[in-house]
């Protein structure tokens, strides 16, 4: 497969403009400005590109929700918060190829009619922030940003906004609230951001990886991108793999690659000759897979859904036979309890309840009925809050307890 997102990762000083231009950087803009914005949206729709932040919603369709005659400014927000445990692929793009992101931002802004774009970057990402800031300055100095870009009559300004370490601000309406200077609380939808978003204006929120795929699509055409992957899961995907593998890191794969092939051939297999026990395929918020389930699943949206889990952000966590699944779940529950914004009662109270039960079990004071109570509380959290944070906590709890119940029972007994 041709590398789309990672082709510059091993290039010396790839984060600098000269290196990027030397590898056909910003080439897509000449084709971009020769077409109408509606044509660009259609091209992205035909490519089959889906949001790479976790939801997997078709990108071109999302852009199409912007009102045809908004009568007010339209904004583009870039989600570079990446707070999902186990996920670090956007960070790699920001550090190693920031101009690809900027080129993607220009394409998306042109398509939706935005003249201002806001990059919301995780506050802890200081090094990626400084690299992106330098790249934006280079783009301004060479008229890839600012007024009358390349003399084609299109204006665009990019503003970088650093977050303050709140996981909840990875959710698009919380991200918007944070940029506006408010507390990062999710908002009830509808109205959706495409109609009423940043500063009450039509807004599109796209993930870093999603935008980074756009230069290839515009330069090479939708068909070239759609030729990669499966019938319903088109293109390539970045997988950030950590845990008990020989070569953890960020890898670009064609969607539809067998999960076991990825672990063995890309990540070097399970380290120290041990056996696979479990895999979290798409970041800590998705249900875990047993080694048996992982044997015949593909890394695409549909195949993983058929196994009751999700591709999510592509943050894969691999666990070998030495892992204590009770301890592993307690780490996740502690994280989600800490990060709940507290706005919705089922999430605020439910996250605390789950933590108390897990603390009890892990400390050796578990009670009869605790496992059923974990499932019951999780069921009463899912689908009952403004955003999907409660679901993101409940799904791992249910899958861990259901699939590795004997370990939990042994801990209690």
Q: What is the pLDDT of residues 349-380, one digit of tens each?
A: 999 999 999 999 999 999 999 999 999 999 99
- Domain of 291, CATH number, reads 3.10.20.600
**Model pLDDT for residues 223-280, shown as the tens digit of each residue:** 999 999 999 999 999 999 999 999 999 999 999 999 999 999 999 999 999 999 999 9
Average pLDDT score over the chain: 97
Domain extent, residue 265, equals: 236-320
Cβ atoms 216, 107 nearer than 8 A: no
pLDDT tens digit sequence for 53-85: 988 999 999 999 999 988 889 999 999 999 999
Identify the CATH number of the domain in which residue 205 sits.
Answer: 3.40.50.11540
What is the spatial distance between Cα 393 and Cα 390, in angstroms, rounded to a whole number?
Answer: 5
- Residue range 154-167: mean pLDDT, rounded: 96
Same domain, 311 and 291: yes
The 3-state DSSP class for residue 60 equals helix
Tens digits of residue pLDDT in 169-194: 999 999 999 999 999 999 999 999 99
Asked if 157 and 270 sit in the same domain, the reply is no
pLDDT given at position 216: 98
Together in a domain, 207 and 313: no
Q: What is the pLDDT of residues 35-51, one digit of tens each?
A: 999 999 999 999 999 99
Please check whether residues 298 and 346 belong to one and the same domain. Answer: no
Same domain, residue pair 148 and 214: yes
Whole-angstrom Cα Rg for the chain: 22
Domain containing 356 — which CATH number? 1.20.1440.230
Are 222 and 127 in a shared domain?
yes
Residue 210: phi and psi, rounded to 5, are -60, -50
Please state, in angstroms and rounded to a whole number, the distance separating the CA atoms of residues 169 and 167.
5
**Average of per-residue pLDDT across 129-143:** 98
Q: What does the CA dihedral 402, 407, 412, 413 come to, rounded to 10 degrees? A: 120
Tell me whether residue 359 is in a domain.
yes
Tell me the per-residue pLDDT of 316-344, one tens digit each, with 9 for 90 and over: 999 999 999 999 999 999 999 999 999 99
The SS3 call for residue 331 is: helix
| pLDDT at residue 351, as a whole number | 98
CA angle centred on 227, ends 307 and 204, rounded to 5°: 75
**Beta pairing, strands 315-320 & 75-80:** unpaired
The pairing of strands 116-121 and 157-162 is: parallel
Q: Can you tell me the distance from the alpha carbon of 140 to that of 156, in angstroms, rounded to the nearest whole number?
A: 10
Please identify, among 266, 290, 320, the residue that sits at the C-terminal boundary of a domain: 320
Task: State the pTM of this model.
Answer: 0.95
Quick one: pLDDT at residue 27? 96
The pLDDT value given to residue 370: 97
> How many distinct structural domains can be found in the chain?
3
pLDDT at 70: 86
Task: Report pLDDT for 39.
Answer: 97
274 and 216 in a single domain? The answer is: no
């Amino acid at each position: 497969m041709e590398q789309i997102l990672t082709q510059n990762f091993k290039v010396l000083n790839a984060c600098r403009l000269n290196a990027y231009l030397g590898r056909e950087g910003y080439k897509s803009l000449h084709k971009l400005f020769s077409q109408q914005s509606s044509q660009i949206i259609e091209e992205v729709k035909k490519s089959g590109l889906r949001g790479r932040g976790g939801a997997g919603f078709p990108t071109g369709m999302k852009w199409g929700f912007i009102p045809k005659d908004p009568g007010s400014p339209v904004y583009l927000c870039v989600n570079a918060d990446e707070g999902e445990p186990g996920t670090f692929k956007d960070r790699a793009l920001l550090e190693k190829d920031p101009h690809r992101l900027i080129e993607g931002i220009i394409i998306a802004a042109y398509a939706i009619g935005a003249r201002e774009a806001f990059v919301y970057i995780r506050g802890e990402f200081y090094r990626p922030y400084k690299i992106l800031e330098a790249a934006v300055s280079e783009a301004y100095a060479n008229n890839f940003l600012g007024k009358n870009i390349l003399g084609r009559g299109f204006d665009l300004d990019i503003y970088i906004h650093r977050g303050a370490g709140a996981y909840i601000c990875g959710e698009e309406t919380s991200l918007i609230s944070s940029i506006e200077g408010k507390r990062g609380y999710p908002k009830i939808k509808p109205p959706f951001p495409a109609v009423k978003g940043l500063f009450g204006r039509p807004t599109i929120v796209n993930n870093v990886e999603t935008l980074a795929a756009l230069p290839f699509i515009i330069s090479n055409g939708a068909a070239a991108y759609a030729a990669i992957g499966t019938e319903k899961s088109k293109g390539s995907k970045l997988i950030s793999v950590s845990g008990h593998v020989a070569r953890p890191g960020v890898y670009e794969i064609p969607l539809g690659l067998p999960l076991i092939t990825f672990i063995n051939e890309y990540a070097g297999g399970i380290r120290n000759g041990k056996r696979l026990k479990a895999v979290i395929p798409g970041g800590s918020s998705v249900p875990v897979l047993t080694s048996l389930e992982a044997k015949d699943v593909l890394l695409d949206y549909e195949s993983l859904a058929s196994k009751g889990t999700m591709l999510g952000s592509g943050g894969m966590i691999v666990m070998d036979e030495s892992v204590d699944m009770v301890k592993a779940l307690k780490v996740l529950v502690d994280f989600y309890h800490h990060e709940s914004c507290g706005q919705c009662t089922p999430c605020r109270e439910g996250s605390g309840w789950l933590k108390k039960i897990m603390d009890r079990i892990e400390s050796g004071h578990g009670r009869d009925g605790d496992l059923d109570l974990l499932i019951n509380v999780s069921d009463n959290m899912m689908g009952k809050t403004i955003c999907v944070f409660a679901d993101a906590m409940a799904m791992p709890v249910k899958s861990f307890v259901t699939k590795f119940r004997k370990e939990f029972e042994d801990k209690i007994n």
